[in-house]
């Protein structure tokens, strides 16, 4: 025992030197292991957050699907209504629910609680297509905005304004519903409003329908084309 103590005393300086030298690699190894554990923990947290973002996105899709199941005819027709306040209460309520969901989804995107790529590649363009396809959404927004009833955050109002502008330009603009256009035109149809073409030619005061041959062009014995 005495020999050991004597040896340690005689070599204490050398031992201190080597202890210092070996401490650096030991500290480096410990730091590397700690860094690795931190990376693993960070990765696990990010995976959990990413999973939560996708879960939020899927939940929003389910809620949109439920909303579309009850879309009123006044909206699904694709027609625009100037007198929004005269629409049935269920139609106005549907438009309000659409913007509530849109606002919630925008908030989730701002706070990085849904996948950013889904907002960029799906939601951003999808909203603009909807505004073009269902113009009553725009009418409803403008109605509530003018009456001071659009109480969503300013950032969301700016997003809606941008979406409305985009919806009226390519590539989002859609062809208006032909039934809506026909309903807005005055009805000059001879077949629907005028006397029946019982004799193969129109009454004197009405223009000839394009599918009816005039009397002077008929050949003897030819049957009526009406």
180/78 Cα distance (integer angstroms): 7
pLDDT of residue 218: 43
Q: Would you say 150 and 157 are in contact if contact means Cβ atoms under 8 Å apart? A: yes
pLDDT of residue 105: 96
Q: What is the pTM of this model?
A: 0.62
CB atoms within 10 A of CB 133: 18
* pLDDT, tens digit, 9 for 90 and up, residues 108-121: 999 999 999 999 99
207/146 Cα distance (integer angstroms): 46
* pLDDT, tens digit, 9 for 90 and up, residues 135-182: 999 999 999 898 888 888 899 999 999 999 999 888 887 766 655 654
């Amino acid at each position: 025992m005495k020999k050991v103590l004597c040896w340690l005393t005689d070599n204490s300086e050398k031992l201190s030197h080597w202890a210092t030298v070996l401490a650096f690699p030991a500290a480096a190894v410990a730091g590397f292991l700690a860094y690795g554990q931190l990376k693993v923990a960070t990765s696990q947290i990010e995976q959990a957050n990413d999973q939560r973002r996708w879960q939020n996105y899927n939940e929003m899709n389910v809620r949109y699907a439920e909303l579309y199941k009850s879309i009123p005819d006044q909206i699904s027709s694709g027609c625009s209504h100037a007198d929004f306040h005269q629409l049935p209460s269920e139609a106005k309520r549907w438009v309000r629910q659409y913007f509530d969901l849109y606002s919630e989804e925008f908030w989730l995107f701002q706070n990085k609680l849904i996948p950013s790529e889904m907002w960029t590649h799906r939601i951003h363009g999808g909203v603009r297509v909807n505004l073009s396809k269902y113009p009553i959404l725009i009418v409803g927004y403008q109605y509530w905005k003018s009456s001071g009833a659009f109480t969503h955050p300013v950032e969301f109002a700016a997003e809606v304004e941008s979406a409305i502008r985009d919806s009226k330009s390519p590539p989002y603009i859609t062809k208006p519903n032909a039934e809506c256009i026909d309903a807005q035109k005055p009805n000059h149809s001879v077949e629907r409003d005028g006397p029946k073409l019982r004799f193969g030619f129109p009454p004197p005061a009405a223009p000839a329908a394009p599918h009816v041959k005039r009397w002077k062009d008929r050949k003897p014995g030819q049957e009526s084309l009406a």
